[in-house]
């Protein structure tokens, strides 16, 4: 519905009857409902049904307009489902299934397919009519985004008049650039509605607020910012939808990480939103990271249909934190902890693993792997011909544990989750098919130094710490040979993580990292370890993205290449 081409559809309120539920509202006002709700990828019919329910609920509460997230009808990111031949027909019938909803304008995110192409679009539905549609103009194709794989660019601004104001539509990335909103302003917009599916990363909500304040002030325009919520594979959408005044201040902010139907009333005369009686608490860094990890795991497990999860405990901090997140995500009754001691497992580890499980009240099983390891070693003995022990024997222990956990998974139908952190995965300090065996790696995007912070954070939430203090203070060890410590083969985690964050999250090169003050040889060694572990990561389970650059779809390197570190 470009202004140029669709003048006739610009005025939904010509057919609207707003006789109900408006008694308590100020006159000359428009109430927007922000449907911050989890729309599941692929679940078109159910998503339409959810839209119906929310629209009726919003209307009941006096809303004039309800806004759904970017691509909400299909879920985000749908990836190659967008190429399925039946997509267009399914979308059309879902949209028309909503046509009997009267007396509320619905702005629905959906993929639009016509002879011009495929678009990431927002439809304006009102009283059984599709009053127009907007196609996203700026298509992100970096980081985790592949939108130019699927979508054609929209070329037109879309505005519509309703109850005395002119509303301009934007979708997600459109607002991160200066142009589209400025063009809407030029064409007469009084207010912007922006549909989003913006994945969580650390500090993202702050960045959104900064950006929204800037855009609203630049154009003296109020903005409704509606975000998606919920986990989808490695991404978590963290909600935090907002209504922003024209001066850049936040009038309304929805909860993070939770479904919420938030209402914001816009006074046409003052051109201001009413303000929220009680704004949600701002989350600490640890709190938002922790919640993202909980939601990511919860939705992956529930969507994949598993009734429980299995986690191997080692007595160490990674599995301890993973266990907390698992319990917070799914409840203690769905979590099965297994401790698999071998020769090098310390008494402390056994005690601490048991203590963790007890404090969290989860099923706890001890399954010593002596027989499995011995059996494997017997099988290999004739081939190994008494060669001296090396990392092979360590990997055998890790893989025996992987086999045990997967057998429990196969037998009892639970999902094995893994406990590897980002520091380990970065430098390849992990065993393929061993501790990397499982369907979801909870701490995949959490550096070891962050693991400590999150463990302390979680302990502070309750009077009795759920993770025994000793687990946090003792030196980390994989316990795969006598007296092994992580720091035998790796630098201190604070140093390691400093180099890794520079190289991975900040995309810095060797020289710039050295110039930060790190030891040159160590930087070269760490970069080499990262580069040499691409093949391992290519077979790693997925895990929730929380950083600016997570391993996986966000970071795509050739498995074999000859790029030199120093160049």
Which 344-363 positions form the footprint of a copy of itself (CB under 8 A)? none
Q: Does 555 bind a copy of itself (CB under 8 A)?
A: yes
Task: Report the distance separating Cα 436 and Cα 536, nearest Å.
Answer: 9
Stretch that binds a copy of itself, among 80-88, 189-197, 315-323, 468-476 (CB under 8 A): 80-88
Catalytic center residues:
70, 136, 172
Q: Does 512 bind a copy of itself (CB under 8 A)?
A: yes
User: CA of 518: how far to CAs of 56, 493, 505, 514, in Å?
Assistant: 59, 13, 16, 5
- Per CB under 8 A, the list member of 232, 349, 418, 544 interacting with a copy of itself is 232
Contact between 349 and 341 (Cβ < 8 Å): yes
Cβ proximity to a copy of itself: between 224 and 369 the closer is 369
Q: Does 300 bind a copy of itself (CB under 8 A)?
A: yes
Task: Report the distance separating Cα 72 and Cα 10, nearest Å.
Answer: 23
Cβ proximity to a copy of itself: between 174 and 435 the closer is 435
Task: Report the distance separating Cα 2 and Cα 4, nearest Å.
Answer: 5
Q: Does 61 bind a copy of itself (CB under 8 A)?
A: no
Q: Does 406 bind a copy of itself (CB under 8 A)?
A: yes
Q: Does 395 bind a copy of itself (CB under 8 A)?
A: yes
| Interior angle at CA 358, CA 435 and CA 468, nearest 5 | 75
Stretch that binds a copy of itself, among 13-21, 126-134, 194-202, 297-305 (CB under 8 A): 297-305
Matching residue, tokens 């702050």: 206
Give one DSSP letter per residue of 282-297, joined into a string: PPPHHHHHHHHHHHHH
Cβ proximity to a copy of itself: between 407 and 520 the closer is 407
Q: How far is the CB of 73 from a copy of itself (least distance, A)?
A: 13
Q: Does 192 bind a copy of itself (CB under 8 A)?
A: no
On the CB side of 285, CA atoms within 13 Å amount to 9
- Per CB under 8 A, the list member of 33, 44, 104, 229 interacting with a copy of itself is 44
From 35, 37, 38, select the one nearest 300 (Cα to Cα): 38
Q: Does 43 bind a copy of itself (CB under 8 A)?
A: yes
From 443, 428, 440, select the one nearest 535 (Cα to Cα): 428
Cβ proximity to a copy of itself: between 89 and 164 the closer is 89
Q: Does 542 bind a copy of itself (CB under 8 A)?
A: yes
Q: Does 96 bind a copy of itself (CB under 8 A)?
A: no
Q: Does 148 bind a copy of itself (CB under 8 A)?
A: yes
Stretch that binds a copy of itself, among 85-93, 266-274, 315-323, 489-497 (CB under 8 A): 85-93
Matching residue, tokens 């040979």: 481
Exposed/middle/buried for 517, CB within 10 Å: 0-12, 13-18, 19+?
A: exposed
User: CA of 99: how far to CAs of 12, 47, 126, 127, 565, in Å?
Assistant: 14, 15, 8, 7, 59
504 annotated as belonging to a binding site for a ligand: no
Q: Does 72 bind a copy of itself (CB under 8 A)?
A: no
Q: Does 508 bind a copy of itself (CB under 8 A)?
A: yes
Subset of 411-470 contacting a copy of itself (CB under 8 A): 411, 432-433, 437, 439
Cβ proximity to a copy of itself: between 164 and 375 the closer is 375
Q: Does 567 bind a copy of itself (CB under 8 A)?
A: yes
Query: Where do runs of H (alpha helix) occur along 438-502?
Result: 448-460, 469-473, 486-489, 493-500
From 235, 225, 192, select the one nearest 75 (Cα to Cα): 235
| CB atoms closer than 10 angstroms to residue 550 | 25
- Per CB under 8 A, the list member of 6, 56, 81, 268 interacting with a copy of itself is 81
Stretch that binds a copy of itself, among 168-176, 197-205, 275-283, 399-407 (CB under 8 A): 399-407
- Number of residues engaging a copy of itself in binding (CB under 8 A): 89
- Bond from prior residue into 77 cis (ω within 30 degrees of 0): yes
Q: Does 541 bind a copy of itself (CB under 8 A)?
A: yes
Cβ proximity to a copy of itself: between 24 and 564 the closer is 564
Contact between 359 and 337 (Cβ < 8 Å): no
- Per CB under 8 A, the list member of 58, 330, 360, 400 interacting with a copy of itself is 400
Contact between 216 and 246 (Cβ < 8 Å): yes
- Per CB under 8 A, the list member of 103, 146, 152, 161 interacting with a copy of itself is 146
Token reading at 360:
């969290």
Contact between 231 and 128 (Cβ < 8 Å): no
Subset of 360-379 contacting a copy of itself (CB under 8 A): 365, 367-376, 378-379
Token reading at 541:
């389970």
Subset of 240-259 contacting a copy of itself (CB under 8 A): none
Known binding residues for L-glutamine are: 142, 198, 204
Known binding residues for ATP are: 312-319, 419
Known binding residues for deamido-NAD(+) are: 395, 424, 536
């Amino acid at each position: 519905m470009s202004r140029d081409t669709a003048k006739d559809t610009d005025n939904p309120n010509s057919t609207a009857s707003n006789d109900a539920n408006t008694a308590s509202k100020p006159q000359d006002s428009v109430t927007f409902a922000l449907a911050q709700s989890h729309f599941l990828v692929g679940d078109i019919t159910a998503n339409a049904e959810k839209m119906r329910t929310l629209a009726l609920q919003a209307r009941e509460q006096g809303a004039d307009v309800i806004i759904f997230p970017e691509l909400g009808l299909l879920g985000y990111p749908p990836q190659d489902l967008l190429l399925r031949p039946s997509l267009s027909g399914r979308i059309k019938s879902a949209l028309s299934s909503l046509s009997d909803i009267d007396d509320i304008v619905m702005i629905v995110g959906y993929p639009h397919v016509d002879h011009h192409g495929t678009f990431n679009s927002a439809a304006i539905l009102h009283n059984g009519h599709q009053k127009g549609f907007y196609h996203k103009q700026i298509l992100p194709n970096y980081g985790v985004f592949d939108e130019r794989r699927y979508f054609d660019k929209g070329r037109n601004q879309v505005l519509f008049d309703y109850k005395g104001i002119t509303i301009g539509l934007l979708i997600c990335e459109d607002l991160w650039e200066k142009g589209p909103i400025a063009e809407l302003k030029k064409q007469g917009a009084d207010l912007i509605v922006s549909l989003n599916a913006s994945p969580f990363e650390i500090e993202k909500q702050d960045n959104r607020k900064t950006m929204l304040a800037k855009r609203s002030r630049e154009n003296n325009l109020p903005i409704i910012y509606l975000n998606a919520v919920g986990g989808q594979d490695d991404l978590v959408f963290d909600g935090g939808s907002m209504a922003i005044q024209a001066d850049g201040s936040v009038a309304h902010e929805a909860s993070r990480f939770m479904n919420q139907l938030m209402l914001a009333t816009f006074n046409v005369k003052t051109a201001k939103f009413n303000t929220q009686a009680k704004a949600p608490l701002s989350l600490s860094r640890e709190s938002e990271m922790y919640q993202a990890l909980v939601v990511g795991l919860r939705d992956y497990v529930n969507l994949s249909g598993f009734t429980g999860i299995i986690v191997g405990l080692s007595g160490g901090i990674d599995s301890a934190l993973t266990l907390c997140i698992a319990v917070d995500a799914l409840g203690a009754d769905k979590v099965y902890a297994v401790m698999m001691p071998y020769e090098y497992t310390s008494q402390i580890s056994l005690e601490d693993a048991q203590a963790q499980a007890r404090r969290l009240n989860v099923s706890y099983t001890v399954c010593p792997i002596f027989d499995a390891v011995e059996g494997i070693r017997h099988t290999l003995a004739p081939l190994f011909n008494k060669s001296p022990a090396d990392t092979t024997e360590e990997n055998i222990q890790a893989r025996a544990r992987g086999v045990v956990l997967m057998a429990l998974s196969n037998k009892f139908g639970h999902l094995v989750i893994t406990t590897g952190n980002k520091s380990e995965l970065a430098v390849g300090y992990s065993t393929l098919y061993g501790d990397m065996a499982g369907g979801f790696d909870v701490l995949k995007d959490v550096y070891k130094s962050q693991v400590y912070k999150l463990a302390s954070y979680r302990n502070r939430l309750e009077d009795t710490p759920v993770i025994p203090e000793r687990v946090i203070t003792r030196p980390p060890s994989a316990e795969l040979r006598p007296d092994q410590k992580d720091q035998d083969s790796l630098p201190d985690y604070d140093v390691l993580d400093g180099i890794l964050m520079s190289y991975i999250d900040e995309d810095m090169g060797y020289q710039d990292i050295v110039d930060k003050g790190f030891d040159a040889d160590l930087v070269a060694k760490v970069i080499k370890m990262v580069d040499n572990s691409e093949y391992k990561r290519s077979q790693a389970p997925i895990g929730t993205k929380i950083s600016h650059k997570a391993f996986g779809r966000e970071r795509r390197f050739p498995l074999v290449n000859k790029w030199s570190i120093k160049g």
